């Protein structure tokens, strides 16, 4: 499902124009990205959490050159689904 599919589905379900729905979806995504960029997690009860994970510094290898490199510590965005979300997906996908 693409962003356009999501916008179309929400517009059909609510009767709101697609342009307004698209603006709302874009604003939501910008808010989540902005919050994560500031190091803040986003919690949506019943859906899941957008969290910032911290990765420690580690040693990696460039196999083609045979050289060890240091990968610095960094943060990455991650999504952790709510338990109800996971159960719904498990029950619906396995039933098909």
Q: Which residues, listed in sequence order, are joined to residue 54 by a DSSP beta bridge?
A: 75
CA distances from 73 to 11, 56, 69 (A): 42, 4, 13
Q: Whole-model pTM?
A: 0.78
Question: pLDDT class for 96, splitting at 50, 70, 90?
Answer: low
Give CA separation, 35 vs 12, 18, 29, 89, in Å: 29, 25, 10, 27
pLDDT, residue 84, reads 94
Confidence check: pLDDT of 55 > 90? yes
What mean pLDDT is reported for the chain?
94
């Amino acid at each position: 499902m693409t962003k356009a599919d999501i916008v179309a589905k929400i517009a059909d379900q609510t009767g709101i124009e697609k342009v307004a729905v698209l603006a709302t979806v874009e604003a939501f995504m910008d808010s989540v990205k902005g919050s994560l960029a500031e190091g803040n997690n986003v919690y949506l009860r019943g859906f899941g959490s957008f969290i910032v994970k911290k990765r420690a510094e580690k040693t990696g290898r460039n196999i083609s050159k045979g050289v060890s490199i240091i990968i610095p510590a960094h943060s990455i965005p991650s999504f952790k689904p709510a338990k109800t979300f996971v159960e719904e997906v498990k029950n619906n996908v396995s039933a098909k």
